[in-house]
Amino acid sequence: MRKIKFRYNISSIWSAPFTKYMILELILCSIAMPPFVDYTIIGTMNGGNYQYSLDMLISNICLIKSYTIVRVYNHYSPWTNTRAHLISLKRNFIPNISFSFRSDLKNKNVLLLLIIFFSLAIYFGLIMRNFEKSFINPDYPAKSFNFKWYLNGVWLEIVTVTTVGYGDGFPESLYGRSITLFTCVFG
């Protein structure tokens, strides 16, 4: 009688092809502000003084976690379900997030663009508020815009993205100006 040897293809989590992405995602999702840490970064820029807390900087980094919305969209999209995969195999392509986004953009363009517009205005408005509320310029003691309220940051981002530019407010810090430039170019 002949012995049959089975070869098992044993793959561990460390030999999987997406291990580095999984580790990066775990690191990103585990970023949090530890309690009772009160650290402040103080400096000068553009002729003004800033005082950024570590809590504010970490909350801006934590906004990166919202990429999971894109993953949920990809998971529940009708363009990436089992039926779409079967059809795509016949046509020799793989339906990915780019394909589902382009398909939804073609079918539900107004709804998708409004969702993207308001979500980006909310995210960048929060980042703008965080960077601008603790920036004090002694040359302009009365700020052009009061960034203590969150909706003022969102308003500034909406005015920037729609290229209206009322002129009622503008960022004074270098970081605020960078965020506004990014929103203006890519918004």
pLDDT tens digit sequence for 126-178: 888 888 888 887 777 666 677 888 888 888 888 888 877 777 778 888 888 88
Please provide the average confidence, as pLDDT, over all residues in the chain.
81
Residue type, 153: G
Nearest to 178 by CA among 109, 127, 116: 127
The pLDDT tens digits for 57-68 are 888 888 888 878
Query: Edge-to-edge strands of the sheet including 135-136?
Result: 40-45, 48-53, 135-136
User: Using 50, 70 and 90 to split pLDDT, how confident is the model at 16?
Assistant: low
Query: What is the C-alpha separation between 61 and 5, in angstroms, rounded?
Result: 52
Residue type, 25: E
Nearest to 169 by CA among 179, 181, 155: 155
Domain covering 66-76+108-186: architecture: Orthogonal Bundle (1.10)
The predicted pLDDT at position 4 comes to 58
